[in-house]
Copies of this chain bind each other. A is one copy, B any other.
Amino acid sequence: MAQAAARTRRTAEDRRKQLIGIGLSMLTARPIHQVTIDEVAAEAGISRSLLFHYFPTKQDYYVEVVRAASRRLLRSAAPDDSPRAIVEGYVAFIERRRTQYVGLFRASGLDDWVREIHDETQDALTVRIMSAMTLTNPSEPVALAVRAWWAFAEELAIEWTGRGRTDRDALVDILLGALDNVIFLADEVRTDRPILPPGE
Protein backbone atom coordinates (compact mmCIF):
# COMPACT_ATOMS: atom_id res chain seq x y z
CA MET A 1 0.00 0.00 0.00
CA ALA A 2 2.62 2.48 1.10
CA GLN A 3 3.91 3.84 -2.14
CA ALA A 4 7.11 5.64 -1.23
CA ALA A 5 6.66 8.17 -4.01
CA ALA A 6 10.24 9.15 -4.63
CA ARG A 7 10.24 11.73 -1.88
CA THR A 8 9.87 14.86 -3.94
CA ARG A 9 9.21 18.22 -2.44
CA ARG A 10 5.71 19.57 -2.93
CA THR A 11 4.05 22.87 -2.31
CA ALA A 12 2.08 23.17 0.89
CA GLU A 13 -1.24 23.28 -0.87
CA ASP A 14 -0.40 20.26 -2.96
CA ARG A 15 0.40 18.19 0.08
CA ARG A 16 -2.76 19.23 1.86
CA LYS A 17 -4.86 18.25 -1.11
CA GLN A 18 -3.07 14.95 -1.42
CA LEU A 19 -3.51 14.16 2.27
CA ILE A 20 -7.18 15.09 2.27
CA GLY A 21 -7.69 12.98 -0.81
CA ILE A 22 -6.12 10.03 0.94
CA GLY A 23 -8.33 10.68 3.94
CA LEU A 24 -11.44 10.65 1.79
CA SER A 25 -10.62 7.21 0.54
CA MET A 26 -9.15 5.69 3.69
CA LEU A 27 -11.64 7.01 6.18
CA THR A 28 -14.41 5.80 3.97
CA ALA A 29 -13.71 2.17 4.58
CA ARG A 30 -12.79 2.28 8.25
CA PRO A 31 -13.84 4.56 11.08
CA ILE A 32 -11.42 7.19 12.24
CA HIS A 33 -10.07 5.64 15.36
CA GLN A 34 -9.06 2.59 13.43
CA VAL A 35 -6.96 4.56 11.02
CA THR A 36 -3.58 5.62 12.35
CA ILE A 37 -1.55 8.61 11.34
CA ASP A 38 1.21 6.25 10.39
CA GLU A 39 -0.96 4.56 7.83
CA VAL A 40 -2.00 7.79 6.21
CA ALA A 41 1.57 8.99 6.17
CA ALA A 42 2.78 5.72 4.69
CA GLU A 43 0.11 5.86 2.01
CA ALA A 44 1.26 9.36 1.12
CA GLY A 45 4.88 8.30 1.23
CA ILE A 46 5.85 10.82 3.87
CA SER A 47 6.76 10.76 7.53
CA ARG A 48 4.36 11.08 10.43
CA SER A 49 5.92 14.38 11.37
CA LEU A 50 5.02 16.01 8.12
CA LEU A 51 1.40 15.26 8.58
CA PHE A 52 1.53 16.98 11.92
CA HIS A 53 3.18 19.88 10.22
CA TYR A 54 0.09 20.45 8.14
CA PHE A 55 -2.54 19.39 10.62
CA PRO A 56 -1.68 20.19 14.23
CA THR A 57 -3.68 17.24 15.48
CA LYS A 58 -5.30 14.11 14.20
CA GLN A 59 -8.70 15.63 14.85
CA ASP A 60 -7.83 18.68 12.79
CA TYR A 61 -6.90 16.43 9.94
CA TYR A 62 -10.08 14.45 10.19
CA VAL A 63 -12.19 17.56 10.43
CA GLU A 64 -10.81 18.84 7.17
CA VAL A 65 -11.51 15.54 5.49
CA VAL A 66 -15.10 15.55 6.66
CA ARG A 67 -15.44 19.20 5.64
CA ALA A 68 -14.35 18.26 2.16
CA ALA A 69 -17.01 15.55 2.02
CA SER A 70 -19.59 17.99 3.30
CA ARG A 71 -18.76 20.46 0.54
CA ARG A 72 -19.18 17.72 -2.04
CA LEU A 73 -22.57 16.87 -0.64
CA LEU A 74 -23.77 20.45 -0.59
CA ARG A 75 -22.60 20.86 -4.16
CA SER A 76 -24.56 17.79 -5.21
CA ALA A 77 -27.74 18.84 -3.45
CA ALA A 78 -28.12 22.20 -5.09
CA PRO A 79 -28.64 21.86 -8.80
CA ASP A 80 -31.34 24.51 -8.77
CA ASP A 81 -33.84 25.90 -6.36
CA SER A 82 -36.82 23.57 -6.51
CA PRO A 83 -37.39 21.39 -3.46
CA ARG A 84 -37.60 18.32 -5.64
CA ALA A 85 -34.27 19.05 -7.26
CA ILE A 86 -32.62 19.52 -3.88
CA VAL A 87 -33.95 16.27 -2.53
CA GLU A 88 -33.06 14.45 -5.71
CA GLY A 89 -29.54 15.80 -5.58
CA TYR A 90 -29.26 14.68 -2.00
CA VAL A 91 -30.52 11.19 -2.73
CA ALA A 92 -28.30 10.92 -5.78
CA PHE A 93 -25.29 11.79 -3.68
CA ILE A 94 -26.08 9.09 -1.18
CA GLU A 95 -26.65 6.59 -3.93
CA ARG A 96 -23.25 7.44 -5.35
CA ARG A 97 -21.24 7.67 -2.14
CA ARG A 98 -23.20 5.68 0.36
CA THR A 99 -20.32 4.00 2.13
CA GLN A 100 -18.31 7.19 2.21
CA TYR A 101 -21.21 9.13 3.66
CA VAL A 102 -21.91 6.55 6.32
CA GLY A 103 -18.24 6.09 7.09
CA LEU A 104 -17.52 9.74 7.55
CA PHE A 105 -20.66 11.07 9.17
CA ARG A 106 -22.12 8.20 11.09
CA ALA A 107 -20.36 4.95 11.82
CA SER A 108 -17.08 6.34 12.86
CA GLY A 109 -15.94 7.40 16.25
CA LEU A 110 -15.97 11.09 16.32
CA ASP A 111 -16.04 13.59 18.98
CA ASP A 112 -18.27 16.56 18.90
CA TRP A 113 -16.63 18.26 15.97
CA VAL A 114 -17.82 15.76 13.39
CA ARG A 115 -21.32 15.91 14.69
CA GLU A 116 -20.84 19.63 14.42
CA ILE A 117 -19.97 19.52 10.76
CA HIS A 118 -22.81 17.13 10.16
CA ASP A 119 -25.14 19.56 11.90
CA GLU A 120 -23.82 22.49 9.93
CA THR A 121 -24.39 20.58 6.74
CA GLN A 122 -27.95 19.76 7.63
CA ASP A 123 -28.52 23.31 8.77
CA ALA A 124 -27.40 24.51 5.38
CA LEU A 125 -29.73 22.04 3.70
CA THR A 126 -32.55 23.14 5.98
CA VAL A 127 -32.09 26.77 5.07
CA ARG A 128 -31.83 25.88 1.43
CA ILE A 129 -35.00 23.86 1.24
CA MET A 130 -36.94 26.33 3.31
CA SER A 131 -36.10 29.13 0.98
CA ALA A 132 -36.92 26.88 -1.93
CA MET A 133 -40.36 26.47 -0.44
CA THR A 134 -40.63 30.20 0.07
CA LEU A 135 -40.95 29.56 3.77
CA THR A 136 -39.78 32.87 5.13
CA ASN A 137 -39.59 33.48 8.82
CA PRO A 138 -40.87 30.11 10.06
CA SER A 139 -41.88 29.53 13.66
CA GLU A 140 -39.52 27.63 15.91
CA PRO A 141 -41.53 24.39 15.71
CA VAL A 142 -41.50 24.51 11.93
CA ALA A 143 -37.78 25.16 11.80
CA LEU A 144 -37.10 22.31 14.19
CA ALA A 145 -39.40 20.01 12.29
CA VAL A 146 -37.74 20.64 8.95
CA ARG A 147 -34.39 20.09 10.60
CA ALA A 148 -35.56 16.78 11.99
CA TRP A 149 -37.09 15.89 8.66
CA TRP A 150 -33.57 15.88 7.21
CA ALA A 151 -32.67 13.25 9.75
CA PHE A 152 -35.61 11.27 8.44
CA ALA A 153 -34.47 11.80 4.88
CA GLU A 154 -30.93 10.75 5.67
CA GLU A 155 -31.98 7.58 7.41
CA LEU A 156 -34.50 6.59 4.80
CA ALA A 157 -32.19 7.34 1.90
CA ILE A 158 -29.38 5.33 3.42
CA GLU A 159 -31.55 2.34 4.19
CA TRP A 160 -33.48 2.56 0.95
CA THR A 161 -30.42 2.51 -1.25
CA GLY A 162 -28.78 0.04 1.10
CA ARG A 163 -31.42 -2.49 0.17
CA GLY A 164 -30.50 -2.08 -3.42
CA ARG A 165 -33.72 -0.37 -4.35
CA THR A 166 -33.46 1.61 -7.53
CA ASP A 167 -36.82 3.35 -7.50
CA ARG A 168 -35.39 6.68 -6.55
CA ASP A 169 -38.49 8.57 -7.60
CA ALA A 170 -40.71 6.72 -5.17
CA LEU A 171 -38.27 7.58 -2.43
CA VAL A 172 -38.22 11.23 -3.38
CA ASP A 173 -42.01 11.26 -3.44
CA ILE A 174 -42.17 9.94 0.09
CA LEU A 175 -39.64 12.46 1.28
CA LEU A 176 -41.38 15.43 -0.31
CA GLY A 177 -44.77 14.28 0.88
CA ALA A 178 -43.50 13.87 4.41
CA LEU A 179 -41.90 17.28 4.27
CA ASP A 180 -45.16 18.98 3.38
CA ASN A 181 -47.00 17.14 6.08
CA VAL A 182 -44.39 17.82 8.74
CA ILE A 183 -44.40 21.52 8.01
CA PHE A 184 -48.16 21.54 8.18
CA LEU A 185 -48.20 19.72 11.50
CA ALA A 186 -45.54 21.89 13.08
CA ASP A 187 -47.26 25.00 11.87
CA GLU A 188 -50.30 24.11 13.95
CA VAL A 189 -48.33 24.58 17.14
CA ARG A 190 -48.90 27.92 18.82
CA THR A 191 -45.50 28.63 20.27
CA ASP A 192 -46.83 30.66 23.16
CA ARG A 193 -49.66 28.49 24.35
CA PRO A 194 -49.05 24.80 23.77
CA ILE A 195 -51.91 22.87 22.27
CA LEU A 196 -53.69 20.62 24.67
CA PRO A 197 -53.66 16.96 23.76
CA PRO A 198 -56.85 15.60 22.21
CA GLY A 199 -58.88 13.38 24.51
CA GLU A 200 -58.05 10.32 22.50
Contacts and interface: CB of A to CB of B under 8 A. Distances in A.
B174 A141 contact: yes
A167 interface: yes
Given A145-B156, A159-B147, A178-B185, A32 B109 contact: yes
Contact of A155 (B110, B148, B186, B196): B148
Contact of A144 (B110, B149, B154, B160): B160
A159 B148 CA distance: 8
A189 B174 contact: yes
Nearest to A106: B115
How many copies of this chain sit in the oligomeric assembly? 2
A200 B163 CA distance: 27
A140 interface: yes
Interface in A81-107: 106-107
A156 B150 CA distance: 10
A146 B196 CA distance: 25
Contact of A167 (B31, B33, B189): B189
Which 9 pairs across A and B sit closest by C-beta, in order of nearness? A109-B109, A167-B194, A148-B156, A152-B152, A151-B155, A148-B155, A169-B197, A181-B181, A177-B185
21 contacts: A31-B112, A32-B109, A33-B33, A140-B163, A140-B165, A144-B159, A144-B163, A147-B156, A148-B152, A148-B153, A148-B156, A150-B155, A151-B154, A169-B194, A169-B196, A170-B189, A173-B189, A173-B197, A178-B181, A178-B182, A178-B185
